[in-house]
Amino acid sequence: MTTVSELFPQRGPIASIQRGVFSVATATSGTSPDRRYTNITVSAVNDITKCLVNVLGSASTSTASAGNYGSNAGGDQTILAGRMTSTTNLRIYHDNQNLRSSFQGTWELVEYN
């Protein structure tokens, strides 16, 4: 049986936390897993392998207003993800090729020592 400690290993003290919001009218198109993405410049971190990215937001096929993306506004929806691609670049992306390229939400970058 897997324990909680194995699923969430101790990372050590937090070195920094950065937060922000994003609203992307036209995301860049790419290949899986970055079919739609945007890059956000952040303050430099020391080691991207010691970073945790949290993203809260969604993209939708719906033509509803941005405030309704997380609701039952109609159309398909997908969850966004984020990762560091360099010490100063946070990429927010999704892999659903059928969704339009606009999305919005919030992000948090936690760097551990």
* Domain boundaries of the chain, sorted by first residue: 11-112
Tokens of 89: 């670049």
What is this structure's pTM?
A: 0.73
* pLDDT number for residue 70: 45
Do residues 57 and 36 make contact, with C-beta atoms less than 8 angstroms apart? no
Pairing of strands 89-94, 14-24: unpaired
| Confidence tier at 40 by pLDDT (50, 70, 90) | very high
15: which residues sit within 8 A by CB, 6+ positions away?
45, 46, 50, 111, 112, 113
Q: What is the pLDDT of residue 57?
A: 80
Q: Percent of the chain, pLDDT > 70? A: 67
Tokens of 103: 């999305």
> Quick one: pLDDT at residue 67?
45
The CATH code that applies to domain 11-112 is 2.60.40
pLDDT digits (tens, 9 = 90+) for 55-110: 988 766 554 444 444 444 445 566 788 999 999 999 998 776 666 667 888 999 99
Are the beta carbons of 103 and 56 closer than 8 angstroms?
no
